[in-house]
Structure 1
Amino acid sequence: MSDVGTGILGFVGMSALAGVLVTAAVTPALAVTGMAANNGISMFENLPGYLEVGELSEKTDIYAVQADGTPYHLASFFDENREEVPWESISQYVKDAAVAGEDPRFYEHGGIDIQGTIRGAVSTYVLNQDVQGGSSITQQYVKNVLINNGVREAQTEEEKEAAYDAATETSPERKLKEMRYAISLEKKFSKDEILMGYLNIAAFGGRVYGIESAAQYYFGGKHASDLSLAEAASLIAIVNTPEKFRLDYPESETNGASTVVDGQPVPYADNKQRRDYILGQMLKEKKITQEEHDAAVASPVAPAIQEPSTGCQTAGGSAFFCDYVKNVILNNYDDPATEENEGAAMLQQGGLQVYTTLDLELQGRAEAAMAENVPYTDPRFDVGSVAVTVQPGTGKILAMAQNKRFTEDPDIAATSPEYTSINYSTDFGYGGSSGFQPGSTYKVWTLAQWLNSGHSLTETFNGARRDFTRFTNSCEGNFSGSFNPRNDDGRIANNAVDATKWSVNSSFMAMAQQMDLCDIKKTAEAFGMHRADSQPLTMYPSDVLGTQEIAPVTMAAAFAGIANNGTTCSPVAIDRIVKADGTEVAPPASTCTQSVTPEVAHAMAYAMQQTFAGGGTAVASNTGTGVPHIGKTGTTDNAFDTWMVGSSTKAATAVWVGNVTGGDNRTNLRNISFDSGAAATARHRIWPSIMELADTKYGGDEFPDPDPSAFKQVLVDVPQVAGLSLDAARQALEAAGFVFEDGGQQDSNLPAGTVAGTDPSGQAGRGATIRVFTSNGQGTTVPDLTGMNALEAKAALDAASLRMKGGGGNPTGTVTSQSPAPNSPAKRGDEVTVTFGGNGNAPGDG
């Protein structure tokens, strides 16, 4: 059969059913007597009639809240740039232009314009000309709803394309279904509601959808309510054939650049032609006056394109925080029933208003401090720096700055080192890096467990540098070997306060050696410590000094937990999420955990405040505001990473400056300078600048005094090792948790080479150094001469190889005192001074 024959059959089928549809739509109560009509109605009634108008795909906007409470727009995300507006927010010019240009009988028919339908069917199926619409506004609305529903349900690009093709295919079957849905919609919604839905869903070229977004994009941010007559007609012209009549490609062939008048090309000639047709239709339908028509036709098509904010690159210095918010949404909205992540759909299609925790004033200070102290790039190494501020008690991220410009374009990131898409502040799974070694800032978890396990701030131990040969580790396995980290200077700290103030490596190793490394790890995890690359956290001896890779935002939140009486709140970036219909979606909430008891936290804070005191490692970061701070510095091996992390009771800030990449390309920051000063101390210029504003804006309370028990001196018994071999004494003392030190020989009457005694003896602080002395075999013990007469005392001293001196008093009496005292150690040949008194022959003496 020829194409013409096929077209005629299609036309006949369409026409017959169209007649039925007119009857069904306009006069449904009229009796239909013809068999063909009855069959047609039966066939039509079997088509699906109910159309669910799903939520439209709308752009999501992300905001920070300004000091006066008003929102500040950071960025938008969308698959379709659309913003739904109500009826009253659409210019009457737009409504009239749509009806006059697309469906003049819209307010008269029951959903189908039969004249337009027959005209379109003849052109498409009989004459084989270009596809003609002929669809009513209601039918066009149905088609767009079907596209929207199908695309939003699709999970892949292939499924989206298939859904679009199914909703737009040129076939009588699709047209019939569309008509059936149109009649159904007309029975459910008013004409104004259908027209409003159509104007909100219609495509306006590219990714622009809906009259409000079209007005803002094409006409310099105008709202749909403020469009002029000519502007309204130009926008309605686009919906007829969006890619042909769109207004953002003035020089393309499809926009009439080939049209020449008086030797000059006429941009937007195609749009103008369609616009003027619509204006003529509006005049014909008496929606505008002749004067209005003529003035509008005489005006040029003059768009003022305003590119919408798409993605975080428009958020300026807040772009990395914006990117974190984006990833929070992507990562936190899974559908348990389907195991599908709804976050992407929410972000790109959900029409959300996302209000974040960002403090714009503090963010501005962080960006300024970063820009003043760390360059975007450095020819000597891949320089990186971040500053993150978290609020104690809530986990709210108040600021997040980085020494780079944000881009999501991999080509730009690859060729321009000042650009990156990687957020150094956070975990890999949230758009971040694999983390950075926190160095000595990590020592606070050993301090926490030291106090957790009953030790005190002033308890003494041996903080001297030495080989550490054994560590208990019930997680990864006990350590036996040799670990001897160097200290940054020659200071030795023998208690936890000085160890923290001066950040002495050997002191923290001495503390860790008295505990289970596994317990230190568990305490760190209680404060939210986890590796940025999502690998399991470990705790080998070197990890006491901070060799795990951690994200700066994790460190800031953990220090906020110390300042918050030991309650750590996980970091959050979103305050509220409002859907397009005004209802709210619960944002990911902060989880607050009592990491240590308040008493332990207060003792930690006491030690960490000392870092800002004279000689402390954080003195250079003092803000001078009078607000109390806790803090800890960190510098990794070879100063590849430098940190300053600290907190008031109101704000905690982590600053990292270091090498972004590892390997041989790294540079020791102690060997170089930036324009602002020494590279290794840039952290001490950034941190106080940010915290000075935080102190001024939020204040800060005194940290609670530690419980008196935090200062107790813990004493334990020193094992009795006299008479043992030196090696046996060493084993006994180390088994009891003491540090052995050979004190050399001393006079003793014990066999030469055996242990003669210890210093101290009796009791000492746990972990203290015990000096052990060995006997030289030359010692003796002073006998007790009390009550002896001279002859008896002389004989006793002779037996002990000692000499008697003195004899003052009554030499015929008995010994009343002696020096050295009885049982004292002495060297053979030493003198013992004695004093006699009384009368040896006094009455009553036997």
Structure 2
Amino acid sequence: MSSMPKEKSVTVHRALVLMLTYVVLAVSGGVVASLLFMPAVFGANTVARAVVPSLQVEGVDFDVTSLPQKSIMYANDGTTEIAQFYSQNRIVVPLKDISEPMQQAMVAREDRRFWQHSGVDVQGVLRAFVQTYLLRGAQQGGSSLTQQYVKNVLLMQAIEDNDPIAQYHASEDTIARKIREMLIAVQMEKTYSKAEILQGYLNIAQFGINLYGVETAAERYFNTTASELNIVQSATIAAITKNPSNYDPSVEENQAEAEQQRNIVLDLMLQEGYITQEEHDEAVNTPLVDTLDIQDVQVGCQDAGDYAFFCDYVVHKIENSEEFGETAEEREKLLNEGGLTIVTTLDVDANSLLMEEARNTIPADDASGMEIVMASVKPGTGEVLGFGINKTYDATSDAASDPTKTSINYAVDMVDGGGTGFPIGSSWKPVNLIAWMEAGRSINENLQTTTRYAQSEFDCDGYNGGSTIWSVQNALSSGTTNPESPFLGLVRSHNTTQASMGAIIGLCAVADTATELGYHDAYTGSTLQESTSFTPSMLIGTVNVSPLTMASIYAVYASNGVQCDPIAMTKVTDKSGNDIDVPSANCHQAVDPEIIQTLAYTLNQGVVRSDGAGGSAQLDNGRKTFAKTGTNGNTYVTTGGFIPNEIATFVLVGDAQGSTAIENISINGVYNSYWDGSTIAAPAWRRFMNAYAERKQLAIDNDYGQASSKYTATSSTVTSIQGTTQSSTTNRSNNSNSNSTTTNSTDGTTDDQDD
């Protein structure tokens, strides 16, 4: 918008305008209207000084750039549109970006003497007065384009302030309102140039049902921009303002009337010399329907298609982040009116492939009623690439009675629009191995294991387990493997070895590592130490976590130990092009790279070894695979894994509401009495990762996962649960008669029995 001109001096003409306005309104409005003017206003040199106090409207900004504008959300390429948000569907554009025919059409239609008058069209007012009050004909307004701009701004401000009284006064059909508009219009033209006023009106006027501003109208009706509007298109749009509901040409029943109104505008343009007779005739003879290219009006995540779940995640991030305002109300208003350009982290390829894989694995209407939830993160950046959910996003009441629809993104935390979190089984176990190495231990130590552990053996500063017995067993076996190293304990996914590790280093060490990796409770946001999950069974995945948090944790494994908080946006600018701070990923080196490389080596061995638990996750083309499956009893099955420095993905399958067991059922036409991570979650993970690697042409680099000798030293001794050296390899038993609890879960052919 051009800079404001210097204040114009009060001319005799302007004084005459005010005097004539007074005469007209005094005759029609009587004594009440007369009281608004004092004798001093008739002095040409004192007019401005006398009326200025009455012309100022507190809290109202007539600058066009202050108008509510819609915000647009984009994918990470900055061009793929995800969604639009607005209370008033508007894109503000400068006058230079509005075609000359559009400017001319609007002036011809609304105020043909716009360029000559000083805010009030005296002839128009007199004509309206005579027609309405003396001849008792149809009521006419006689409002100038400037007055209409004033009316629109006052009404908009009243709506913004949720002030019904102000809304009434801004639109009431009274002489008092007219006087107010005239006074402000005169002052407007002292402050703004004609071009600026025309620019403001073209951006604030209503051009259809919840459609504001000429740029939005051009896009809606003709799939073009305001700068490209031709004569017939301009006349069509200019005609709408008189009656936005009845002249909206996108409504089929309106089209005959809309064409007639368009032709009236063309007649007026010809009359004013804006177009030639030939241009007029050609335009009039063009059927309206042949000129239209109606574009769907979309608003919010409801209309975002397969981007909807990600869209909803971004909206929650905006509403929950102080960067966008001090209160939730301020943030929501900024989103709907601030004209934001929001560039998100969504990778179109990743999100599309995730949604496709989710639906292919378990159709939304599958009789099993099971959900599959997938989340992917870019390692080393925290950028959330996309989600896969086998449901259709629907935030309306229809979702309550349609199991194929939901507005809950089960991939994220509750505060971000998700559920309460899930226990994930053995896909948790890499956390234990990192904690083990951070305690200075070798992954090849031989550990004595058992199936019964006094919870007091896991005591540490912050945890007191008492004398209760924790009974734990491995999949397909009621016994244990003894002795067994932490390396083989992860490769084979044996619960008993995880328990032994936890008893040796203490539960707090594992919880501290989890926090280090970015773990938090999906329901409360708390750390493990602060949650009800802080018990020994957390060692085999009885935590409460979202798939996105787990994808983010696996991204630490994929980026040589760099931990980043998940982020949804990389750049946000306001309607003036100014940057708004976005939540930071806070990336930092959280884990020693040698530990991560040793973990990656172990994860890969769990996939490629014949006794490994994750063989169903093996990627194509000889690509080194790093993945871990998990099963939480008969409720949820999972798989997490990554391609180094490229993508980390976590998959969860089960009944998100927790009411149906994932056993003895058919899923997508396949029956299994026993479903685990390797039978459904891992294959879905593998198919997606292969498809993404192919789509992105990711290079195969198999150097990742070089175990460090610092953490792989071999030992001929057997370490007991208490850390002392044993000469025997027999199972350690605990004969305590205290109350005991049993933890069961399963995963893979040699995996675990996790709770």
TM-score (norm 2): 0.83
Per-residue CA deviations over 1:640-677 (Å, capped at 9, x if unaligned) read 211110112221111111112223xx132465343478
| Residue of 361, 366, 377 corresponding to 1:378 | 366
How far, CA to CA, are the matches of 1:189 and 1:42 in structure 2? 18
How far, CA to CA, are the matches of 2:680 and 2:145 in structure 1? 64
Q: In the superposition, relative to structure 1, how do residues 161 and 610 fare at CA in structure 2: closer, same or farther (>3 Å)?
A: farther
1:178 Cα shift? Answer: 2.9
Q: In the superposition, relative to structure 1, how do residues 12 and 292 fare at CA in structure 2: closer, same or farther (>3 Å)?
A: farther
Q: Tell me whether 1:116 sits opposite 2:118 in the alignment.
A: no
Mapping of residues 704-783 of structure 1, within 5 Å: 705-712=706-713, 737-738=723-724, 759=727
How far, CA to CA, are the matches of 2:460 and 2:691 in structure 1? 43
1:342 Cα shift? Answer: 3.1
Mapping of residues 544-555 of structure 1, within 5 Å: 544-555=539-550
Residue of structure 1 equivalent to 2:54: 47
Residue of structure 2 equivalent to 1:672: 666
Q: Tell me whether 1:683 sits opposite 2:685 in the alignment.
A: no
Residue of structure 2 equivalent to 1:749: none
| Residue of 353, 368, 372 corresponding to 1:365 | 353
1:569 Cα shift? Answer: 0.6
How far, CA to CA, are the matches of 2:134 and 2:324 in structure 1? 49
Q: In the superposition, relative to structure 1, how do residues 340 and 366 fare at CA in structure 2: closer, same or farther (>3 Å)?
A: closer
Q: In the superposition, relative to structure 1, how do residues 20 and 707 fare at CA in structure 2: closer, same or farther (>3 Å)?
A: farther
Residue of structure 1 equivalent to 2:155: 147
Mapping of residues 24-35 of structure 1, within 5 Å: 31=44
1:140 Cα shift? Answer: 1.4
- Contact 1:59–1:82 (CA<8 Å) still a contact in 2? yes
- Contact 1:334–1:342 (CA<8 Å) still a contact in 2? no
1:120 Cα shift? Answer: 4.6
Unpaired runs of 5+ in structure 1? 1-5, 25-29, 33-37, 256-266, 719-732, 740-757, 772-846
Residue of structure 2 equivalent to 1:828: none
1:106 Cα shift? Answer: 0.5
3-state secondary structure, aligned to 2:628: strand
- Contact 2:356–2:388 (CA<8 Å) still a contact in 1? no
- Contact 1:58–1:349 (CA<8 Å) still a contact in 2? yes
Q: Tell me whether 1:329 sits opposite 2:340 in the alignment.
A: no
How far, CA to CA, are the matches of 2:474 and 2:731 in structure 1? 20
Q: Tell me whether 1:229 sits opposite 2:223 in the alignment.
A: no
How far, CA to CA, are the matches of 1:702 and 1:160 in structure 2? 65
| Residue of 584, 589, 593 corresponding to 2:579 | 584
1:91 Cα shift? Answer: 2.7
Q: Tell me whether 1:571 sits opposite 2:582 in the alignment.
A: no
Mapping of residues 156-195 of structure 1, within 5 Å: 159=162, 161-195=164-198
1:41 Cα shift? Answer: 6.2
How far, CA to CA, are the matches of 1:207 and 1:126 in structure 2? 37
- Contact 1:437–1:636 (CA<8 Å) still a contact in 2? yes
- Contact 2:640–2:651 (CA<8 Å) still a contact in 1? yes
| Residue of 267, 277, 299 corresponding to 1:290 | 277
Amino acid in structure 2 at the alignment position of 1:584: D
Per residue, is there more strand in 1 or in 2?
Answer: 1
How far, CA to CA, are the matches of 2:36 and 2:727 in structure 1? 111
3-state secondary structure, aligned to 1:484: strand
Larger Rg: 1
- Contact 1:333–1:341 (CA<8 Å) still a contact in 2? no
3-state secondary structure, aligned to 1:398: strand
Residue of structure 2 equivalent to 1:837: none
Mapping of residues 349-498 of structure 1, within 5 Å: 349-380=337-368, 382-411=369-398, 413-470=399-456, 471-490=458-477, 492=481, 494-498=484-488
- Contact 2:665–2:671 (CA<8 Å) still a contact in 1? no
How far, CA to CA, are the matches of 1:510 and 1:125 in structure 2? 96
Per-residue CA deviations over 1:73-104 (Å, capped at 9, x if unaligned) read 22212211112223233232221121111111
Residue of structure 2 equivalent to 1:621: 617
Q: In the superposition, relative to structure 1, how do residues 455 and 715 fare at CA in structure 2: closer, same or farther (>3 Å)?
A: farther
3-state secondary structure, aligned to 1:709: helix
1:286 Cα shift? Answer: 1.5
Residue of structure 1 equivalent to 2:300: 311
How far, CA to CA, are the matches of 2:680 and 2:714 in structure 1? 39
Residue of structure 2 equivalent to 1:197: 200
> Which stretch has the larger CA shift, 400-409 or 677-686?
677-686
Q: In the superposition, relative to structure 1, how do residues 573 and 8 fare at CA in structure 2: closer, same or farther (>3 Å)?
A: same
Per-residue CA deviations over 1:102-153 (Å, capped at 9, x if unaligned) read 111110112221233345566778899876432211121222223334444x
| Residue of 15, 29, 34 corresponding to 1:10 | 29
Per-residue CA deviations over 1:743-802 (Å, capped at 9, x if unaligned) read xxxxxxxxxxxxxxx845xxx9xx99699xxxxxxxxxxxxxxxxxxxxxxxxxxxxxxx
Mapping of residues 272-283 of structure 1, within 5 Å: 272-283=259-270
- Contact 2:393–2:407 (CA<8 Å) still a contact in 1? yes
Q: In the superposition, relative to structure 1, how do residues 88 and 446 fare at CA in structure 2: closer, same or farther (>3 Å)?
A: same
Per-residue CA deviations over 1:564-596 (Å, capped at 9, x if unaligned) read 222211111222223333332233221224333
Per-residue CA deviations over 1:680-731 (Å, capped at 9, x if unaligned) read 422222211222244453334623534322123579999xxxxxxxxxxxxx
> Which stretch has the larger CA shift, 121-130 or 540-549?
121-130
How far, CA to CA, are the matches of 2:180 and 2:545 in structure 1? 58
- Contact 1:245–1:268 (CA<8 Å) still a contact in 2? no
Q: In the superposition, relative to structure 1, how do residues 31 and 215 fare at CA in structure 2: closer, same or farther (>3 Å)?
A: closer
1:173 Cα shift? Answer: 4.4
- Contact 2:446–2:718 (CA<8 Å) still a contact in 1? no
Q: In the superposition, relative to structure 1, how do residues 172 and 387 fare at CA in structure 2: closer, same or farther (>3 Å)?
A: same
- Contact 1:514–1:737 (CA<8 Å) still a contact in 2? yes
| Residue of 89, 94, 99 corresponding to 1:86 | 94
1:478 Cα shift? Answer: 2.5
Q: In the superposition, relative to structure 1, how do residues 160 and 656 fare at CA in structure 2: closer, same or farther (>3 Å)?
A: farther
1:622 Cα shift? Answer: 0.8
How far, CA to CA, are the matches of 1:125 and 1:484 in structure 2? 94
Q: Tell me whether 1:505 sits opposite 2:474 in the alignment.
A: no
How far, CA to CA, are the matches of 2:203 and 2:733 in structure 1? 84
Unpaired runs of 5+ in structure 2? 1-24, 735-755
Amino acid in structure 2 at the alignment position of 1:10: G
1:623 Cα shift? Answer: 0.4
Residue of structure 1 equivalent to 2:11: none
1:560 Cα shift? Answer: 0.6
How far, CA to CA, are the matches of 2:403 and 2:92 in structure 1? 40
3-state secondary structure, aligned to 2:66: coil
3-state secondary structure, aligned to 1:46: helix
- Contact 1:474–1:517 (CA<8 Å) still a contact in 2? no
Relative contact order, CA 8 A, sep 6+: which one is greater?
2
Q: In the superposition, relative to structure 1, how do residues 335 and 363 fare at CA in structure 2: closer, same or farther (>3 Å)?
A: closer
Amino acid in structure 1 at the alignment position of 2:555: A
Per-residue CA deviations over 1:54-91 (Å, capped at 9, x if unaligned) read 5222222222245xxx7222221221111222323323
- Contact 1:373–1:675 (CA<8 Å) still a contact in 2? no
Amino acid in structure 1 at the alignment position of 2:393: F
Q: Give the root-mean-square deviation of aligned CA atoms.
A: 3.4
> Which stretch has the larger CA shift, 646-655 or 689-698?
689-698
Q: In the superposition, relative to structure 1, how do residues 180 and 676 fare at CA in structure 2: closer, same or farther (>3 Å)?
A: farther
Matched positions, count: 688
Q: In the superposition, relative to structure 1, how do residues 458 and 405 fare at CA in structure 2: closer, same or farther (>3 Å)?
A: same
How far, CA to CA, are the matches of 1:164 and 1:554 in structure 2? 47
TM-score (norm 1): 0.74
